[in-house]
Structure 1
Amino acid sequence: MSNIGMIIEERAADIGNFLVGRLLPFRQKRMVGPFIFIDHMGPAELKDYQNLDVGPHPHIGLSTLTYLFEGSVMHRDSLGTAVEIQPGAVNWMTAGRGVVHSERTPEYLRHTDKRLHGLQIWVALPKELEQMDPSFTHVEAKDIPAWEQEGATIKLISGTAFGKTSPVPVYSPQYFIKIVTPKGQKLNIGQHLYGESGLYILEGSIICDGHTYGPRQILIAKDSTLCSFETTDDTTVFIFGGEPLPEERFIYWNFVSSNRDVIEQAKLDWQQQSFPLIPGETGFVPLPQQSPNVKLKDIK
């Protein structure tokens, strides 16, 4: 019997002045382990007059993980952080009870042609930590654990797996793993995984149970401990997941919580502009009348 329980196709989504490929949430699968939101940005060719400009916007109840393949993004937040993220590094921002940030093309790139390509990920916090103090951690590419195994290059971007732990400070049992195979390989990694597990194909293809799957798909495993597959040449995949959180999570726009009332209060606080400000930033992204992530009727 196939170990693939579900296939999620990438769907186009508009985040303001930039189109992305939405992977999670999905109507039939809201979360994979604690992972509640994944956007694939690009690859986008931006002209000298085109820039990424996601203005000040809030988050609660989650950690954001930004991982770039190409390009550069300037991150600023209400904690006073101002950090440029480049390919292979990790921006890990924990919103907790509330944080505001912006994401823009750095000033020195704003008048040149450039490319932007990467992943934007949200990881829900455990219920007891949803109201924790916000924090920010930047981990350089050189500090991400990486090794060769069975003809593949493996990077443990966050979490714990393969007997290793990433320096990214996660708050529940989870993993986010990059696997690159220059030559086709058979990989059996289930013994290193736990909880729920999803496999995202960025480039190339994989063969599993006699079927071939290509880019821009997430394959959800029925049993993560049975995760095995064969890759073709020049394939890049990401394995993500971990122990699911026991409580249901609600999501509205950039707000995640196990408590609907907390989301309603966050909506009111943002409308009244009582969230903290970002030093050096002006303006803000208005609260949408209906969440672009989940329809109002889905918040029960």
Structure 2
Amino acid sequence: MGNNKLIIDERQREVGNFLVGRLLPFRKKRQVGPFVFIDHMGPSPIGPGQYSDVDQHPHIGLSTLTYLFEGEIEHKDSTGAEQVVRAGDVGFMSAGKGVTHTERTPQHQRDGAQYILHGYQVWVAQPKKLEESDPHFQYHEALELPQWETEDLRFTLVAGEGFGRQSPLEVFSPLFMVDIRSKTKEGRINIAGELQGEIAVVVVKGKVLVDGECMEQGQMLVSQTENSCCLELDEQAQLLLFGGQPFPEERFLMWNFASSDKAKLEEAKAKWIAKDFPKVPGDDTYISFPS
């Protein structure tokens, strides 16, 4: 494998009361296209004593994308949006100048039974001209997303454009996010000309050969689309591909904030500490700014 490719392993981080596998940001690679953050959640058991409860917290300058393979998350935010995001659906909250939200196990799953939560939470930086825009929330059910099959593989275009198709999710810069799963045997994809820009190949499960190099579950390869042409999935494999065109300006991160201007991060920090962000209706929880 040439020097133009980078392989990154998941690192464990604690989010709320769960351990997640963090892939971005990484010290040698801070973002892939407009994507600045990606966490792999689970698969984790959800049940008595172990529910997902992420209290009210803020964002600026980015969109959060929630995509699940198993389970459900209830999203509520300060725009008044309330939505249970189920497996295969996509939720997309754009923060702009400032938003707060919570993410919890829905009430109907707090019934004494045990469930599995498994998926990804991704942050997409907003273009500079939209960093001060009004926040809003989008949601699309699984059946609304482009889905197609080859002899060996199943595809879902979660966001953006790729493989001659376009997701109904409104995004704000050229990007893509694609879920690819083996059916009953090994499958092969040539992505040359199908996706544009930087690309991350995330192995959700199984093993994948990328131009002959073996990658396993929990690993991510970062490259350019023109440099990663051939992907070979084993019979149990699942991939996420995401990426796109990077912005001309650098993006800076501070806690849950993203901006092309470091001063905006300090302003957001002071505003959150002063409890001057909009609130989720009916919710008084508050996650303190980390020391």
What runs of 5+ residues in structure 1 fail to find an aligned partner? 290-300
Which residue of 210, 215, 218 corresponds with 1:216? 218
Q: 1:285 aligns with which of 269, 284, 287?
A: 287
- Report if the CA contact (8 A) 2:22-2:39 is conserved: yes
Q: Answer yes or no: is the 8 Å Cα contact 1:3–1:222 preserved in 2.
A: no
What does 1:4-19 align with in structure 2 at a 5 Å threshold?
Answer: 5-19=5-19
Q: Tell whether the 8 Å contact from 2:16 to 2:52 is kept in structure 1 after alignment.
A: no
Distance 1:229 1:246, change over 3 A: same
Q: How many residues align?
A: 289
Q: CA deviation at 1:48?
A: 1.7
TM-score when normalising by structure 1:
0.93
Counterpart in 1 of 2:179? 178
- Please tell me the residue identity of whatever aligns with 1:237: L
Contact preservation (8 Å) 1:3, 1:221:
no
- Offset of 1:210 from its aligned partner? 3.2
Judge conservation of contact 1:199–1:219 (CA < 8 Å) in 2.
yes
Q: Matched residues in 2 for 1:283 and 1:27: separation?
A: 32
TM-score, scaled to structure 2: 0.96
Alignment partner of 1:276: what SS? coil
* Residue type of the alignment partner of 1:240: F
Superposed CA RMSD: 1.4
| Corresponding residue SS for 1:93 | strand
Preserved CA contact (<8 Å) 1:22 1:39: yes
Structure 2's unaligned 5+ residue stretches are none
Task: Tell me which residue corresponds to 1:127.
Answer: 128
Shift of 1:221: 1.9
Please give the alpha-carbon distance, in whole angstroms, between the structure 2 residues aligned to 1:189 and 1:259: 35
Query: Aligned equivalents of 1:19 and 1:135: distance in 2?
Result: 28
The aligned residue for residue 23 of structure 1 is 23
4+ runs deviating over 3 angstroms: 1-4, 222-226
Provide the C-alpha distance between the structure 1 equivalents of 2:100 and 2:270, rounded to a whole number of angstroms: 15
Match of 2:243 in 1: 241
1:157-196 equivalence runs, <5 A? 157-182=158-183, 183-196=185-198
Whether the aligned pair in 2 keeps the contact of 1:63 and 1:123 (CA below 8 Å) is yes
Cα separation, 1, equivalents of 2:246 and 2:99: 24
SS of the aligned residue for 1:267 comes to helix
Identity of aligned residues (%): 46
What are the within-5 Å matches in structure 2 for residues 187-206 of structure 1? 187-206=189-208
> How far apart, CA to CA, are the structure 2 residues paired with 1:139 and 1:3?
38
Post-superposition offset of 1:73: 0.8
Deviation digits for residues 188-231 of structure 1, max 9, x if unmatched?
01211111011000011112343321100001124446421211
